[in-house]
Amino acid sequence: MRRSEIWRHFDFLLFSTVLVLSIFGIAMIHSAIAGNLVLSGLDSRQAIYVALGLVVIFVTASIDYHYWSALSRPMYIFAVLSLVFIFIYGTARYGSARWVDTGLVLIQPSELAKIVMILVLADYFARTLEQPKDIRWIVRSLLLAGGVVIWILLQPNLSTSIVIMVIWFALLWISGLPVKYILAFILGAVILSSVAFPFLQDYQKARIITFLFPDPTARYGNTYNVDQALTTIGSGGLFGEGYGRGTQVQLRFLKVRHTDFIFSTIAEEFGFVGTSVVILLLLFVILRCLRAARLASDPYGANIAYGFAILVFFQTITNIGVNMNVIPVTGLTLPFVSYGGSSLLSMVLGIGLVESVALRRKPLSER
The tens digit of pLDDT for each residue in 11-53 reads: 999 999 999 999 999 999 999 998 888 888 899 999 999 999 9
Cα–Cα distance for residue pair 237/273, rounded to 1 Å:
9
Q: How are beta strands 91-93 and 96-101 bridged, if at all?
A: antiparallel
Name the strands in the sheet holding 106-107, side by side, starting at the edge strand that comes first in the sequence: 91-93, 96-101, 106-107
Confidence category of residue 94, pLDDT binned at 50, 70, 90: very low
Q: Is 305 helix (H, G, I), strand (E, B) or coil?
A: helix
**pLDDT of the residue at 243:** 93
pLDDT in tens, 208-218: 777 776 766 55
- In this model, does residue 98 exceed pLDDT 80? no
266-290 average pLDDT score: 97
- In this model, does residue 354 exceed pLDDT 90? yes
Rg (CA), the chain: 21
pLDDT in tens, 124-139: 999 999 998 899 999 9
By C-alpha distance, which of 173, 179, 177, 132 is closest to 303?
Answer: 173
By C-alpha distance, which of 114, 258, 121 is closest to 177?
Answer: 121
pLDDT in tens, 60-83: 999 999 999 999 999 999 999 988
Cα–Cα distance for residue pair 307/309, rounded to 1 Å:
5
Cα–Cα distance for residue pair 57/240, rounded to 1 Å:
33
pLDDT in tens, 186-212: 887 788 777 776 767 776 777 777 777
**Residue 110 contacts residue 134 (beta carbons within 8 Å):** no
Give the lowest-confidence range in 80-84, 220-224, 314-318.
Answer: 220-224
Mean pLDDT, the chain, as a whole number?
A: 87
Confidence category of residue 277, pLDDT binned at 50, 70, 90: very high
pLDDT in tens, 301-313: 999 999 999 999 9
Confidence category of residue 5, pLDDT binned at 50, 70, 90: low
**pLDDT of the residue at 220:** 61
- In this model, does residue 96 exceed pLDDT 70? no
Phi, psi at 301, each rounded to 5°: -65, -40
Phi, psi at 241, each rounded to 5°: -90, -5
User: Of all residues in the chain, what percent carry a pLDDT higher than 90?
Assistant: 60
Cα–Cα distance for residue pair 93/252, rounded to 1 Å:
21
79-95 average pLDDT score: 72
C-alpha triplet 223, 224, 225: angle, nearest 5°: 105
233-246 average pLDDT score: 92
The answer for residues whose C-beta is within 8 angstroms of residue 352's C-beta and 6 or more apart is 56, 57, 58, 59, 60, 61
